[in-house]
A = this chain, B = another copy of it.
Amino acid sequence: MLDPVVAHLVAEKPAILDRFARYLRIASVSTDPAFSDSMEDARRFLLARLQEIGLHGVRMLDAGSGQPAIYGEWLGAKDAPTLLIYGHYDVQPAGPLEKWVTPPFIPTERDGRIYARGASDVKGSTLIALETVAAFLAVEGECPVNVKIILEGEEESGSPSLPEIVSRHSEVLAADAMLSADGGRGSLDGPTINVGMRGLARLEFSVITAEKDCHSGKYGGAIRNALHEMAALVASLHDHNGLVVVPGFDAGADEITEERRRETAAFAFDEAAFLGDIGAQPRGDGAYSMRERLTLMSCIDVNGMWGGYTGTGSMTVIPQRASAKLTMRLAPGNSPQQALDAVEAHLRNGLAPGCRFLVHRSEAACMPYTLRADHPLVLAAQTVLRATAKSEPVLIRHAATIPIVSLFKEKLGLDTLMFGFHLPDEDIHAPNEFFRLTSFDEGFNAWPRLLRELSKFAPNALRG
């Protein structure tokens, strides 16, 4: 028997797609001040829609500066859990316009796909969540769970205001768990549930070997060169297979058990295709699969390194200063503090005598995150996806970091189920981004069921 809310969404699909098109026409690029009017338009569009579907307390939440978030709530489900639903209304810049087949802010349907900037990231999945709430209120006059919706306006700019928004409005945002429209499906081949991601830490450092740049004719061979010392330090982070050799760097990380390895292997992953897409060479000694290295092990990448003369031609200088920026992805169990301490100590220990070392640790760090496999959010998602996708969902960990998940865990104690319906090939952050029309069908089928499943749990059960 078809769920009446699902039936309503299916019937409303033409109207929803019309709203989707109107939403996509708003060029809500948060990183470029030239688009500030469009950001305003996007907020008006969402505020009006949240009002229209019957949410309460619809308003903007801000941090005193930056782009405000949009908020609305429906809290009429007595004794049921409260779910904070997260999405973002800003989009990436369109990038090189000449590479778009049709203009980025004129949504165009081709081959069952809607092409537009923001279609996949993340306006499509956001509308699925909103329309689900709208459909419950329209059809049943109520939701099975309490709902608080927060739609951020700076996700594509690194969420600079979100920590302050969450801190200022922590009582408003209090909930039992979070559902994120961002964080899409992991595979074209079958259902997945994201049960974790790596953490992130950032470090910038410089090596100084003299008070000024010196002439290589006068001093060459007699004095230290900052670029040589920098190279030695950076080279000392990895072995020749590209594996991290910094003592203590991954000491706190969870053991890679046979069970973990089996879970990881359950996700079909084509290593050759993964490398081939970018023409890259693999790191590692073969002891672990690429997927294991990506999700269960911490890593270090130097993101930038510079010093001396980098213009055209040649300059016979012995540079006195060299600098590097690095980021670390942190395995479950590791922490930014531990990883940064280990790397900083290793670099200091490796420094040649008498050389100076300057270091800056970024505040913008994220803990790794794990949603345990028997968490009600996972159990509910499994039940839903088994029914709708007709196959057993694979639990996967993300290689990347999703800062909002760490943020809401840290500030509000919320676990997050990522339940977006975008797919990994939809060219987000690139020209010709698209969203599949069939993903609306799949989302309409799944989201109402998810809210019903979650309503079966006691509010406390969803908390950690």
Residue A399 at the B interface, CB < 8 A? yes
Other-chain residue from B204, B210, B297, B316 in contact with A278 (beta carbon distance below 8 A): B210
| Contact, CB under 8 Å: B355 / A281 | yes
Q: Mark A213-236, 1 if CB is under 8 A from B, else 0.
A: 011111111111101101111111
A354 within 8 A of B: yes
Name the residue on B nearest A364 (C-beta): B314
Which listed residue (B284, B322, B362, B399) contacts A220, Cβ 8 A? B399
Contact assessment for A327 and B216 in the assembled complex, using a CB-CB cutoff below 8 Å: yes
Partner of A362, one of B221, B240, B314, B323: B314
Assess whether A209 is interfacial by the CB under 8 Å rule.
Answer: yes
Q: From A317, which residue of chain B is reached at the shortest CB distance?
A: B303
The B-contacting residues of A in range 306-355, CB under 8 angstroms, are 306-311, 314-320, 322-325, 327, 329, 352-355
Contact (Cβ within 8 A) A284 B222: yes
Nearest-Cβ distance from residue A292 to partner chain B, whole angstroms: 9
Considering only CB atoms and an 8 Å cut-off, how many residues of chain A contact the other chain? 82
Residue pair B222, A227 in contact (C-beta under 8 Å): no
A290 within 8 A of B: yes
- For residue A389, CB closer than 8 A to chain B, the reply is no
Question: Is residue A302 contacting chain B, with contact meaning CB distance below 8 A?
Answer: yes
A60 at the interface (CB under 8 A from B): no
Tell me, rounded to whole Å, the shortest Cβ–Cβ distance linking A192 to chain B.
Answer: 15
The contact of A304 among B274, B279, B308, by CB within 8 Å, is B308
Q: Which residues of B contact A274 (CB under 8 A)?
A: 222
Are B227 and A302 touching (Cβ within 8 A)? yes
A282: Cβ under 8 A from any B Cβ: yes
- Cα distance, A282 to B215, chains bound together (Å): 15
Complexed CA–CA distance, A237 and B302 (Å): 20
B220 and A242 within 8 A (CB): no
A222 to chain B, nearest CB (A): 5
Q: Are A329 and B227 in contact (CB under 8 A)?
A: no
For A222, the chain B residues whose CB sits under 8 A away are 274-275, 282-284, 290, 293-294, 399
Provide a sorted-by-A list of 14 A–B residue pairs whose CB atoms are within 8 angstroms: A212-B279, A217-B399, A218-B399, A220-B299, A221-B283, A227-B302, A227-B304, A227-B305, A228-B234, A228-B302, A278-B320, A305-B307, A315-B325, A316-B327
List the interface of chain A (C-beta within 8 A of B).
Answer: 198, 200, 202, 204, 209-212, 214-225, 227-228, 230-238, 240, 242, 274-275, 278-284, 290, 293-294, 297-299, 301-311, 314-320, 322-325, 327, 329, 352-355, 362, 364, 398-401
